[in-house]
Amino acid sequence: MTVPRHSWDWPHRDVYATNRACRNCGIIKVTRHEPGLIPWTEFWRDGARVEAVGRTPPCEGEAPQAAGEVAR
């Protein structure tokens, strides 16, 4: 069984954050780096924060089927 993995697009760098969007599911990975704080990572989908403590939420996009894998 193949676990879909995020396909991160090129990062968009902001002053205090770096944004990457997944080409498959559209989730946005935000690496926040603000002065005086240890950088941390947030995940956003459809404008809402995705709670994912210490791990990356699974990719729910329409990842291409692996060769030989039959869908249903």
Binding site for Zn ion (CB under 5 A): 6, 22, 24-25, 59, 61
Comparing CB distances to Zn ion, the nearer of 35 and 54 is 54
Q: What distance in Å separates the CA atoms of residue 58 and residue 64, rounded to the nearest whole number?
A: 15
If residue 3 lies in a helix (H) or strand (E), which one and from where to where?
A: none
Residue (1 or 38) nearer to Zn ion, CB = 1
Closer Cβ to Zn ion, 6 or 30, answer by number = 6
> Least Å distance between CB 14 and Zn ion?
21
Contact 29, 18 (CB under 8 A): no
